[in-house]
Amino acid sequence: MKILFLGDIVGRPGRHAIRDLLADVIAGNNIDLVLANGENAAGGFGISKAVAEELFSYGIAALTLGNHTWDNKSIIEIIDEEKRIIRPLNYNSDVPGRGWTLLKWKTHNIALINFIGQVFMNGNNSPFDIFDQYIEEIKKNVEIIIIDFHGEATGEKLAFAHYVDGKVSAVLGTHTHVQTSDNRILPKGTAYITDLGMCGACDSILGMEVESVIKRFKTQIPERYKIKNDGFYKLEGAIIEIDEETGSTQCINKIRIYNK
Ligand SMILES: [Fe+2]
Ligand SMILES: [Fe+2]
């Protein structure tokens, strides 16, 4: 089967990239399942019920989150019931929501897990220890395991991917919004990319208006970034091809599509 995983969806331009470009990518590549990171989908900060429903309507099956999980407080009202939205598994155990979810494709079970890093990211539990705690439970009756590792540090993402190599189908990095070119199959068969990139405005800084970001760096005065919205956007992610009987991954190709 073929799974397309999209990098962080940033604001309305990111959602419009999905709305306008996803159908052709699905049809042109025979995609069976689409997953995405939605932590910036609502105005750049978090996700709401309406925004999630919009993304599901475009064909996304499930959404992962990250350090912006709680930016839009309305998520707390739905995250316990909505099985298609997950937050990092290595948050503390009394945090609302779930860190992994089960998806179905034909007769196959797919587990989607979300982890967040500890390097340059505050106060999260060890993704290594939490993986070890949960993996036996998660892999019951599951052929395919896909991990979104939401992290800042490339070394941490690589270390985690090698730690779980051979035990999961893919470790796909998110959070930096900058797509890396290191997509490959690791020695024991797990597909890997350090960062999938983003779906959002092209002439921007990580999806935000250039001027507002420069001003903040120059003045050091906290000010909310503004979403860049000039009608020029892109869709970025990776397509992984998996043997659904064994869960082993045959290839991983990154994609980047512009709307003009
Ligand atoms: Fe993030
Ligand atoms: Fe992000």
Provide the pLDDT for residue 224. 85
Distance CA 140, CA 35 (A): 21
The fraction of the chain above a pLDDT of 90, given in percent, is 96
Nearest ligand (C-alpha, residue 9): 2
Name all domains of the chain by residue range, CATH numbers in brackets. 2-258 (3.60.21.10)
Give the phi and the psi of residue 228 in degrees, each rounded to 5. -75, 130
174 CA from centroid of ligand 2 (Å): 7
Cα 196 from Cα 8, distance rounded (Å):
8
Q: Ligand 2 centre and the CA of 160: distance in Å? A: 19
* pLDDT interval class at 141 (50, 70, 90): confident
pLDDT one-digit tens code per residue, 78-99: 999 999 999 999 999 899 999 9
| DSSP designation for 136 | H
Predicted pLDDT at 135: 98
Q: Read off the tokens for 14.
A: 């990111």
Q: What is the pTM of this model?
A: 0.98
Angle between helical axes of 127-138 and 154-164 (0-180°, round to 10): 30
Tokens of 81: 């019931």
Residues known to be catalytic: 68
Quote the ligand 1 centre to 67 CA distance (angstroms): 5
| CB-CB contact of 46 with 75 (8 Å) | yes
Query: Edge-to-edge, what's the strand order for the sheet holding 144-150?
Result: 100-105, 108-116, 144-150, 170-174, 191-193, 184-185
